[in-house]
Amino acid sequence: MNRLVSRSVLLRATRCFSRTTEVSGKQTCLIETHKKHGGKLVEFAGYDMPTQYGDLSIKESTIHTRKHVSLFDVSHMLQTHITGKDRVAFIESLTTADVQGLQENSGTLSVFTNEKGGIKDDLIIMKTDKDFLFLVTNAGCIDKDLPYLLENAAAWRAKGKDVKIETLDNRGLVAVQGPEMAKVLQEGTDIDLSKLTFMKTTVGSVFGIDGCRVTRCGYTGEDGVEISVDPTKAEQLVDRLLASQAGKVKLAGLGARDALRLEAGLCLYGSDIDENTTPIEAGLAFVVAKRRRETLDFPGAEKIVKQLKEKSWPKRRVGLLAQPGRCPRSHLPLIDPLDKCAIGFVTSGCPSPTLGKNIAIAYVDKSHSKEGTKFIVDFGAKQAPVEVVKMPFVPTHYYTGKK
């Protein structure tokens, strides 16, 4: 999911604002926490957000998350309730998800699609045991997603349907990610985390704060949760998590989050997926639910399902491993070393703190997407070899309840 800025933009922003705690965008309910802990702020999606904190570099913060547990402020993301008796049919009319088939208090990653089969945005949909669906969508797409939801809901109501959109303005959202998450959180919650498996959600008390929605998910590849919390209690929640003695808890920013998601092979909206890329081309066929492949009642369904059935998509998202030296960055072309023709382009890249190697995500012609295929990445004045490898680059550790 687009939970942070692209790596190249991020690094430029970090250099520009590396010594400031004052920017000029909107602020989340955790802005004072960022300032208190030396957060280096940049403007992202209209919000002042920390790229890192004074006690750890981006590399150190990434490794800390893999070994221990980190807290990320993702309160800038859009949290929404969809209510009304037609809420399930409504959200299915806009996405590829089988919400009807979800168990209560469980959810799925899905995508809004356009009529050409492209991805308008990716989102999390949770089917609660209450009278609403809980959605989390990308901060960078709020100006697109919210009007899209509101306009379509109004059109449904005009046809006599019962559906309403309620935004949870300014509500806090804290991601707690890493292998020590469960033992840190369990000491402070009445939720049995052993029963809360990946993509399940529930409401409970967390460190004395009632009404927290805890969802087992994240954007790092590690075991983790995202906690939706009253904005007036968000700082208290973070302070109590940081004070835990059950694990080594640290704050982390956008820099580590980008490295972590890239190591996990996860897409960043606007870089790795967009309105000109179908879920199939992006390697996200799993978000197109089996029942929806039959009903064909979402935007762009015919093109997407045709690609699936005929295996006819022209390009494919792949992982790249680069040699030591310059790291591939977004928009750089990939060259076939034999015929010297361009066969693709990089969409994301960074030096992997966990692997100690340069990694990237790219799109290439489907005929060139086999693991082990070698290309040349063209930096302009210089070139460097890269190789197609399997993603994720780093093994994921989502909690399924199975050993």
3-state secondary structure of 316: strand
**Residue 226, annotated as binding a ligand:** yes
Query: Token match 């303005």: residue?
Result: 169
Query: Token match 């790291």: residue?
Result: 327
Measured CA to CA in angstroms, residue 332 lies from 353, 362, 363, 368 at distances of 22, 9, 11, 17
- Encode 211-236: b = buried (16+ Cβ within 10 Å), e = exposed: ebbbbbbbbbbbbbbbbbbbbebbbe
Given a contact cutoff of 8 angstroms between Cβ atoms, the answer to whether 325 and 288 are in contact is: no
C-alpha span between 135 and 153 (Å, rounded): 15
- Cis check for the bond before 147: say yes or no (omega within 30 of 0): no
Which helix H or strand E contains 301, and what residues bound it? helix 301-310
Q: In 17-50, which ranges are continuous DSSP H helix?
A: 31-36
Q: What tokens appear for 270 in the block?
A: 């606007």
What does the angle CA 55 – CA 57 – CA 58 come to, to the nearest 5 degrees? Answer: 130
C-alpha span between 198 and 214 (Å, rounded): 11
3-state secondary structure of 315: strand
Measured CA to CA in angstroms, residue 333 lies from 118, 283, 328, 344, 376 at distances of 22, 20, 9, 6, 8
Given a contact cutoff of 8 angstroms between Cβ atoms, the answer to whether 251 and 176 are in contact is: no
Q: In 159-204, which ranges are continuous DSSP H helix?
A: 181-186
Phi, psi (rounded to 5 degrees) for 357: -135, 165
**The residue type at 162:** D
Phi, psi (rounded to 5 degrees) for 141: -115, 15
Pairing relationship of beta strands 249-251 and 69-73 according to DSSP bridges: parallel
Q: Which residues are annotated as a binding site?
A: 226
Q: Which residues are annotated as a binding site for substrate?
A: 226
